[in-house]
A and B are shown apart, each in its own frame.
Chain A
Amino acid sequence: METKLTEQESLAIINEMIIQARNNVQKGSANSLVYNGYAVAFTAILNFILLNVLPESELNWSFSVWWLMIPSFFVSRYIQSRIDRSAIVKTHIDSIVSTLWRGFSISIVLLLSILFSMALVHHTWYYFAVFTPIIMIIVALTEYGMAKVYRFKPFFWGAVGFWTGALLCCFFTYFVLKRGDVQFLILALCMILGFVVPGYQLNKLAKEENV
């Protein structure tokens, strides 16, 4: 069925459809963000507890809890693939956000490789003291980008939280408490405030938009 259009009608259609396609946040799209927030916060708290309960000779074992991040990565991928499968549209925003997180993952792998290399060459794990703050800075950068593309203020405040957290890590580790375990508590708090809270808010927004 063909309908003849006036120029004004054509413009109206283009305008309306572009608005329809914009801001299409998928229901549950922040589920993997919320999951990762809880997973990292839980692991960080576990690491903090182990650092405080294990005997001094066994303290290095406490960091083994971070190996949990490997199965956790696959759980997160599974959650994301379920969301992708149920999606009826893939927006440019989805594509940009995936690219940002891919870039984040590459940065983390490179950072870990560099720190491990330095640890092997210099026979010290001391460099890993900066790992948490650097990760938090990279997370903040990624979340700052997400805040821009989603035009979603809670991600901006999440990024600010991670930047502040990174500064606090250095402040407490080197100047105030002179102990590194507190970094894990700061990381856990930032994950809850920067991932879990905005994640729930984004899911709520998506639910309202897709009613």
Chain B
Amino acid sequence: MFKELDPLLHSQLRLAVMSLLIGVEEADFVFLKEKTGATSGNLSVQIDKLNEAGYISVTKTFKGKMPCTICKITKNGILAFDNYVKALQGYINKN
């Protein structure tokens, strides 16, 4: 039996966001947009989904007069990402 891939992570943009956040301490929305090449609207929706699932924490703040959104992966997010990678390895080894 193979572990089922987490449907929340098994999506191009959400997986990209999680993969970026696992490699950094925290990242601004601008950084995520720049690196993923996603549109602001789409990225915003996916970030909300990850936030609602408790995989990332989102802090809205200001840098000077500019609003900014800081995203940080949570412990649950790290665990989910770890499980996703392990499940993925299972599928790849099978093939």
The interface of chain A, by Cβ under 8 A from chain B, is: 1-3, 5, 7-11, 13-14, 16-18, 20-22, 24, 85-92, 94-95
Whether A91 contacts B11 by the Cβ 8 Å rule is no
- Which single member of A9, A17, A87, A89 contacts B19 (CB below 8 Å)? A17
Q: Which residues of B contact A17 (CB under 8 A)?
A: 15-16, 19-20, 23, 35-36
Q: How far is the CB of A89 from chain B (nearest CB, A)?
A: 4
Q: Which of B19, B22, B26 lies in contact with A90, CB distance below 8 A? A: B26
Q: B24 touching A10 by the CB < 8 A rule?
A: no
Q: Are B25 and A90 in contact (CB under 8 A)?
A: yes
Main secondary structure of the interface of B (DSSP, over half): helix
**CB <8 Å contact, B22 and A5:** no
Report which B residues bind A (CB closer than 8 A).
5, 10-13, 15-16, 19-20, 22-28, 30-31, 34-36, 42, 63-64, 84-85, 88, 91-92, 95
User: A88–B85 Cα gap in the complex (Å)?
Assistant: 27
3 closest Cβ pairs, A-B complex:
A21-B23, A17-B19, A88-B28
Q: Which residues of A contact B92 (CB under 8 A)?
A: 7-8, 11
Residue of B nearest to A85 (CB): B63
